[in-house]
């Protein structure tokens, strides 16, 4: 599949495929590809598969989707500059993307200032749809609040009093920890937070972090680390016996892009969110998995699902507008938009522009056949069940955002 189209022989192209006579809809996508390849390489493949499927089915409004990507170097300034370049040079119609929460917030503000539609595909911070939410920005993936609430439901069952916390010290980690503390205290008033470690993203000194947590003698640990930080933390924790006799609850831990590299060192018995692609039996996921493996001869990661859902969401919104990418028409189309995904149907909530995409919650284990860590005893937690009330959302989101 070719994602960018040449101007060579336009007459031949039009004659051969008159359905595309009205041109293309250009989707500009910005992300931290060089900084977070484990998640974003599969994510890009998910987008490519979705573009291919939409175009094979006739496109949208007689127009073909065209994907144009840019790297943001994991910095807000570069992300905004990339957005400007995409609009000025590439003449894109729709903007999507972002992985890191602080970068996503910069693009959220850019959308507001420039009055342009933006679908934040992956950044998890609650601010994107609440405190910094705006009329122009929607978010696909379940927020830190949503996913943390799913884990709090399980953490409360453990009935542990003394908790230690570890998280990457930037917007995503700070947001997740704030939610965990608030929700746990509300349901378990006697809870104690006996240690808190917040290493800089990608720069964890795992030895000192593990030792500090061990010295606090917690009953349980809430972990929000991911990527290489997670791997270092797990290996050092295994070596020093940090996890023996302790419950661990972890956000994102069983996503294949982070769990697979640990192989036999995968943590055992942690309560986590993840993506058990190898055992989901629904028709929607089976069809997606078959198509993905046929195209790439590989298995999907969680990033794949997010990238795929982002393009399918944009296509669904454009179908409601008849292929018109006008900002206000697309914003109106996304209000209450329903989208079919490999995880089942999701809806973009009118009250805060947040989708109801959920997550799988279960326990980590090691699979001898797959030779890697897996998610077992899991359930799918539908995002629509893990949100504050509409009245609370109104207080959290600026009145001008809608």
In three-state form (DSSP H/G/I as H, E/B as E, the rest C), the secondary structure along the chain is: CCCCCCCCCHHHHHHHCHHHCCCEEEEEEEECCCCCHHHHHHHHHHHHHHHHHHHHCCCECCEEEEEEEEECCCCHHHHHHHHHHHHHCCCCCEEEECCCHHHHHHHHHHHHHHCCCEEECCCCCHHHCCCCCCCCEEECCCCHHHHHHHHHHHHHHHCCCEEEEECCCCHHHHHHHHHHHHHHHHHCCCCEEEEEECCCCCCCCHHHHHHHHHHCCCCEEEECCCHHHHHHHHHHHHHHCCCCCCEEEEEEEECHHHHHHHHHHCCCCCEEEECCCCCCCCHHHHHHHHHHHHHHCCCCCHHHHHHHHHHHHHHHHHHHHCCCCCHHHHHHHHCCCEECCCCCCEEECCCCCEECCCEEEEEEEEECCCCEEEEEEEEEECHHHCCCCHHHHHHHCCHHHC
Please give the Cα distance from 306 to 302 (Å, whole number). 7
**Per-residue pLDDT, 260:** 96
358-397, pLDDT tens digit by residue?
999 999 999 999 999 999 999 999 999 999 999 999 999 9
Mean per-residue pLDDT of the chain: 94
Q: Helices 76-88 & 101-114, crossing angle to 10 degrees?
A: 40
**Per-residue pLDDT, 401:** 86
Reported pTM: 0.92
Residues 186, 189, 190: CA angle, nearest 5 degrees: 155
Cβ neighbours of 239 (radius 10 Å): 12
Please give the Cα distance from 376 to 391 (Å, whole number). 36
**Per-residue pLDDT, 22:** 60
Q: Which of 290, 234, 293 is nearest to 258 (CA)?
A: 234
**Per-residue pLDDT, 399:** 81
Instruction: Enumerate residue ranges in the chain where pLDDT < 70.
Output: 1-22
Please give the Cα distance from 340 to 331 (Å, whole number). 19
């Amino acid at each position: 599949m070719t994602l960018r189209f040449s101007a060579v022989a336009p007459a031949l192209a039009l004659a051969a495929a008159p359905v595309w006579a009205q041109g293309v809809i250009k989707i500009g996508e910005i992300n931290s590809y060089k900084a977070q390849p484990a998640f974003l390489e599969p994510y890009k493949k998910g987008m490519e598969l979705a573009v291919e499927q939409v175009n094979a089915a006739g496109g949208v409004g007689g127009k073909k989707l065209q994907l144009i990507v840019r790297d943001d170097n994991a910095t807000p300034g570069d992300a905004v500059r990339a957005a400007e370049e995409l609009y000025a040079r590439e003449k894109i119609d729709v903007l999507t993307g972002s992985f890191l929460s602080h970068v996503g917030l910069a693009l959220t503000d850019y959308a507001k200032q420039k009055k342009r539609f933006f679908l934040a595909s992956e950044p998890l911070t609650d601010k994107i749809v609440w405190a910094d939410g705006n009329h122009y920005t929607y978010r696909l993936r379940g927020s830190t609040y949503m996913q943390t609430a799913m884990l709090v439901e399980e953490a409360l069952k453990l009935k542990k009093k003394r908790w230690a916390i570890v998280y990457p010290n930037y917007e995503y980690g700070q947001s997740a920890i704030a939610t965990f503390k608030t929700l746990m205290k509300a349901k378990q008033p006697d809870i104690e937070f006996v240690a808190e470690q917040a290493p800089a993203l990608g720069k964890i000194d795992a030895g000192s972090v593990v030792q500090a947590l061990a010295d606090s003698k917690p009953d349980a640990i809430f972990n929000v680390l991911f990527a290489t930080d997670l791997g270092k933390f797990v290996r050092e924790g295994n070596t020093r016996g940090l996890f023996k006799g302790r419950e661990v609850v972890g956000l994102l831990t069983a996503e294949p892009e982070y769990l697979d590299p640990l192989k036999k060192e995968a943590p055992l018995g942690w309560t986590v969110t993840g993506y058990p692609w190898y055992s989901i039996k629904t028709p929607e996921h089976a069809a997606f998995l078959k198509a993905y493996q046929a195209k790439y001869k590989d298995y999907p990661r969680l990033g794949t699902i997010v990238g795929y859902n982002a393009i399918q969401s944009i296509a669904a919104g454009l179908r409601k507008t008849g292929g018109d990418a006008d900002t206000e028409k697309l914003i109106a189309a996304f209000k209450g938009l329903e989208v079919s995904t490999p995880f089942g149907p999701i809806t973009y909530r009118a009250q805060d522009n947040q989708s109801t995409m959920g997550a799988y919650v279960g326990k980590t284990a090691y699979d001898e056949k797959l030779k890697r860590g897996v998610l077992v005893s899991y359930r799918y937690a539908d995002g629509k069940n893990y949100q504050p009330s509409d009245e609370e959302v109104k207080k959290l989101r600026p009145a001008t955002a809608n």
